[in-house]
Amino acid sequence: MISREDMVALDAADALAPLRDKFELPDDMIYLDGNSLGPVPKGVSERVKDVVEVQWGNDLIKSWNVHDWMGLPQRVGDRIAPLIGADQGEVMACDTTSINLFKLLAAALELRPDRNVIIGQADNFPTDNYLAEGLIRLTGGRHELRLIEGDDIIGAIDAAEDSVALVFLTQVDYRTGYAQDMAAVTKAAHDAGALILWDLCHSAGALNVSLNAAGADFAAGCSYKYLNGGPGAPAFLFVAKHLQDQVQQPLSGWHGHAAPFEFERSYRPAPGIVRQLCGTPSVLAMSALDAALDVFDGIDMSVLRAKSQVLTSLFIDLMEKRCGGHGFTLATTRDQTRRGSQVSWHHEMGYPIMQALIADGVVGDFRSPDILRFGFAPLYLRYVDVWDAVTVIERVMLEQRWDKPEFHLRAAVT
């Protein structure tokens, strides 16, 4: 039987353990919601203060040159690139995930003018499908968004034959934590003559995402979850090098122009990834993200991924051993190769249970209709945190601490 002492021993042997000191974490909290909003990396507050008071405050408009604010989105993109298996010049930090997905959807569909099907999953994060709907509506309904129930994406691609223009998937399911096999699905899409677009929101920064090894075409994701860039931090997008100059995205703003400060009358896309830019980026938000990425310096993503797998496996084991009789049903796969960095459980009292856990310092979140989500960010979580979280969960269940009226009141954001 595993004990807390075993967890202490695992922490002592963990090469990543020192990284926890690079974060500002509240003392009285076990934070298992880094899959929703990462905590503050040390150095971010100082960087933002410097940007406000020195760069903006003293250097004002000159900062676009002196501090190279113009180059910031690509510099940040180049720092994200190695975390997702991309090369330099293939990633841009910009806009939001939703907007970046719109750009890439439009760009991809233009490359397959004779095909009209977008294959997605019903369980894609909703905004992904909403954006596809919006694009299809805007362009006159020529395309069909075909949403697959379940995980047999490859079967659906094969069945659609040569009508498939694009396969558009969330790599890690936001509710169940199921992780797609990026290499296999990408190959199936390409074998069918289709392109692929990956939403990396729930994988970037926790999994060893390998876009180029898989031969992926397009990807986008947010930086406020496992990349810890702050609430609503700038998103990123990826376009494989060989496609960059073939595509023209429709949000053709001046920052994506070949010569934005020539103020030409017609749009002329910049070469490479730069044409994916649109308007003026928030320098404050982009600088906070840049500072946040320092914690990834020198990290081997496969080591990070391995720790994530052990954390989630231990959590499943301990929950089943210690909370097995309390009505939780595992929503996440036991196959750790197909598991993101989260573990989810169905429970009919999921909402009040999560509120009781948060009140007792274990912060996860709830997703309708009945899912409790626990994210395990391997950068800053300890093995003892897994133990201690299960201890709190066990107490909440044994003592029915969730059965209070205030825990049933739904907040605006769950």
Counting Cα atoms < 13 Å in the Cβ hemisphere of 1 gives 6
Residues numbered 133-192 forming contacts with a second copy, rule: CB under 8 A: 133-135, 137-140, 147
| Cβ–Cβ under 8 Å, residues 218 and 246 | no
Q: Any residues with CB less than 8 A from the CB of 186 and at least 6 apart, and which? A: 196, 214, 215, 216, 217
Site for a second copy (CB under 8 A): which residue of 254, 270, 322, 395? 254
Q: Would you say 262 or 335 has its CB closer to a second copy?
A: 262
At residue 346's C-alpha, the angle toward residues 128 and 148, to 5°, is 35
Q: Any residues with CB less than 8 A from the CB of 180 and at least 6 apart, and which? A: 151, 153, 169, 170, 171, 172
Q: Would you say 301 or 377 has its CB closer to a second copy?
A: 377
Nearest to 171 by CA among 131, 132, 232, 214: 214
Q: Is 278 in the site for a second copy (CB under 8 A)?
A: yes
Residue 225 falls in the annotated catalytic set = yes
Residue 224 falls in the annotated catalytic set = yes
Shortest distance, position 328 Cβ to a second copy, whole Å: 21
CA distance 49 to 200: 30
- CA-to-CA dists, residue 349 to 56, 356, 403, angstroms: 49, 11, 9
Residue 125 falls in the annotated catalytic set = yes
Q: Would you say 122 or 398 has its CB closer to a second copy?
A: 122
Size of the site for a second copy (CB under 8 A): 92
In the three-class reduction of DSSP (H, G, I as helix; E, B as strand; rest coil), residue 179 is classed as strand
Residue 226 falls in the annotated catalytic set = no
Q: Is 111 in the site for a second copy (CB under 8 A)?
A: no
Q: Is 392 in the site for a second copy (CB under 8 A)?
A: no
Residues numbered 314-373 forming contacts with a second copy, rule: CB under 8 A: 358, 363, 365, 367-368
Site for a second copy (CB under 8 A): which residue of 106, 117, 216, 247? 106
Q: Is 126 in the site for a second copy (CB under 8 A)?
A: yes
Binding mask 72-91 for a second copy (x = CB under 8 A): --------------------
Residues numbered 49-68 forming contacts with a second copy, rule: CB under 8 A: 49, 52-53, 55-58, 60-65, 68
**What tokens were used for 78?**
């180049």
CA distance 388 to 314: 12
- Name the DSSP letter for residue 54: I
Q: Would you say 214 or 286 has its CB closer to a second copy?
A: 286
Q: Would you say 60 or 398 has its CB closer to a second copy?
A: 60
Residue 187 falls in the annotated catalytic set = no
Amino acid identity at 5: E
Which entry of 23, 31, 102, 125 is annotated as an active-site residue? 125
Q: Would you say 68 or 320 has its CB closer to a second copy?
A: 68
Number of helices (H), then strands (E), in the chain? 13, 15
CA distance 406 to 414: 14
Shortest distance, position 44 Cβ to a second copy, whole Å: 6
Active-site positions? 125, 199, 224-225, 373
